[in-house]
């Protein structure tokens, strides 16, 4: 069965690519197996040179790569260009800092010379999603290649052009044969790869269900995994927050990429004292968002990536409305072609509704009310996910205390949650485990080895 590239703004099939055959998959595994030990021997400086070259390739062809993202995902061109540039910045970051990250650590042991070395595992399989089709891959690949590993990519089925283009970036940058390869395969073939002894570790960014399946398969094979799964991030606004600044950030966080982000501000948790003033500001800004053809430079929100995703989102909204939630804005499927869904605000959401406990992966902000800060934190933590959280208050000391109480992999105060190469990224609870980016992302797929040398 071929992999089709379908434009979600028009429902047009723009390209089709053949599935990687079993024979081609076997050859790819052989190339990766040969590339891994050769790359392991390269110095950190040499690995960094490849990443610098990859950054140059990304920037030289930024427009073409951004257009691929827009065509396959429906992301506005400005956001797509920013995504490609962010990948280049990650390459630059690891090129500059990789050598320091890989240095041995000395341990003070009087009776011996002891150090901790950080050595690559071998071949890492990456199973990646479609919502940030370049960034999600580079977020993993820059760290894995810095560590000295080889990489195999199984990308989402609806972004084959992006998947092949990423392999092209590394080829053009001068990567050794087999170091980074894209495989156009289905879930069954990926499951077989997890069991293959030539694959040494697995990383997945995707749904909770996919994470459970991959973790179970990797567990049977006793292989290391990193899972970055769903999120239902809380955006907590306290009574002393700068409401204009908070509302502006909430709109950006919730509706960028048509709301299809694990770290979007999905749950607006508002202290009663400022709930209506905040919502007035928030709703006015949401109404001003221009939705349409993502290739139009004036458009800030395009369609969802697929029609089935839109249907699933609307089912969650309909369930909440049937139980007493209020459609403050949007919440209706528009007529016409494409997978469009309007920027929406779903108010009066309560426990028992699907929207209260599930992740809404699309442009729908749900609103929860809180009596005070303690109630707001309790509601933020009353969710099985724990990826990121955003807290808004002008009291710095209070913020430092409350931010630590949020069950999340990161807490941002007076800022929207984002991933950044300089800091670790990942979650707790059903949002997964392990970390990407920064020093921690490099060390996830390394043998942290003790070297004890007695006199």
* Token pair belonging to 258: 């048509």
Residue 314 sits at the vertex; the CA angle it makes with 215 and 407, to the nearest 5 degrees, is 45
Question: Rounded to whole angstroms, what are the CA distances from 402 to 44, 197, 246, 394?
Answer: 40, 45, 17, 12
CA distances from 246 to 207, 213, 367, 415 (A): 28, 38, 14, 8
What would the two tokens of residue 325 be?
Answer: 């939630």
Three-state secondary structure call for residue 25: helix
Rg (CA), the chain: 23
Pairing of strands 201-205, 224-228: parallel
Contact 123, 32 (CB under 8 A): yes
Residues 269, 370: contact at Cβ < 8 Å?
yes
What are residue 152's DSSP bridge partners? 125, 181
Give φ, ψ of 198 to 5 degrees.
Answer: -80, -10
Tell me how far apart the terminal alpha carbons of the chain are, to the nearest angstrom.
Answer: 62
DSSP 8-state secondary structure symbol assigned to residue 454? -
Q: In what order do the strands lie in the sheet with 180-183?
A: 180-183, 150-154, 123-127, 201-205, 224-228, 432-433
Rounded Cα distance, 372 and 370, in Å: 6
- Of 248, 224, 240, 172, nearest in space to 435 by CA: 224
Query: Across 229-294, where does the E strand assignment appear?
Result: 234-237, 267-271
Show which residues are catalytic: 228, 262
Give residue for tokens 């500001």: 281
Structure tokens at 77: 């061109």
Short-list 381, 385, 383, 382, CA closest to 428: 385
Question: What contacts 21, CB < 8 A, 6 or more positions away?
Answer: none
> Which tokens belong to 254?
């919730």
Cα–Cα distances in Å, from 141 out to 21, 87, 171, 351, 408? 24, 10, 14, 39, 24
d(CA 274, CA 244): 12
């Amino acid at each position: 069965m071929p992999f089709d590239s379908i434009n979600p703004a028009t429902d047009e099939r723009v390209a089709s690519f053949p599935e990687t055959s079993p024979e081609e998959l076997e050859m790819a595994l052989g190339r990766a197996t040969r590339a891994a030990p050769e790359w392991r021997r390269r110095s950190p400086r040499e690995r960094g040179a490849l990443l610098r070259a990859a950054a140059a390739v990304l920037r030289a062809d930024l427009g073409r790569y951004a257009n691929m993202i827009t065509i396959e995902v429906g992301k506005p061109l400005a956001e797509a260009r920013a995504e490609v540039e962010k990948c280049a910045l990650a390459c630059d970051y690891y090129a500059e800092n990789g050598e320091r990250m890989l240095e041995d650590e000395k341990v003070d042991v009087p009776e011996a010379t002891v150090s901790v070395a950080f050595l690559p595992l071998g071949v890492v399989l990456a199973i990646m999603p479609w919502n940030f089709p370049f960034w999600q891959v580079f977020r993993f690949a820059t760290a894995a290649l810095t560590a000295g590993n080889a990489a195999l990519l199984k990308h989402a089925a609806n972004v084959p052009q992006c998947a092949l283009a990423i392999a092209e970036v590394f080829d053009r940058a001068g990567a050794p044969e087999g170091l980074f390869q894209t495989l156009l395969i289905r879930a069954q073939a990926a499951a077989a790869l997890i069991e293959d002894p030539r694959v040494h570790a697995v990383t997945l960014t995707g749904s909770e269900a996919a994470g459970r399946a991959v973790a179970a398969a990797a567990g049977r094979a006793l292989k290391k995994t990193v899972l970055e799964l769903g999120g239902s991030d809380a955006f907590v606004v306290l009574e002393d927050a700068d409401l204009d600044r908070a509302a502006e950030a909430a709109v950006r966080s919730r509706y960028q990429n048509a709301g299809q982000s694990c770290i979007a501000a999905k749950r607006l948790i508002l202290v009663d004292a400022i709930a209506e003033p905040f919502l007035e500001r928030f709703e006015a800004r949401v109404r001003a968002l221009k939705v349409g053809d993502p290739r139009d430079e004036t458009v800030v929100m395009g369609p969802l990536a697929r029609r089935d995703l839109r249907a699933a989102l609307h089912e969650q909204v309909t369930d909440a409305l049937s139980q007493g939630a209020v459609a403050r804005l949007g919440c209706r499927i528009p007529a016409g072609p494409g997978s469009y869904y309007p920027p929406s605000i779903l108010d009066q959401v309560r426990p028992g509704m699907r929207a209260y406990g599930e992740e809404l992966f699309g442009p729908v902000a749900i609103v929860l009310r809180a009596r005070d800060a303690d109630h707001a934190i309790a509601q933020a933590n009353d969710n099985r996910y724990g990826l990121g959280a955003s807290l808004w208050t002008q009291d710095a000391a209070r913020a430092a205390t409350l931010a630590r109480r949020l069950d999340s992999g990161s807490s941002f105060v007076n800022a929207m949650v984002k991933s950044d190469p300089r800091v670790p990224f990942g979650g707790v609870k059903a949002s997964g485990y392990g970390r990407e980016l920064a020093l921690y992302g490099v060390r996830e797929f390394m043998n942290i080895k003790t070297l004890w040398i007695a006199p």
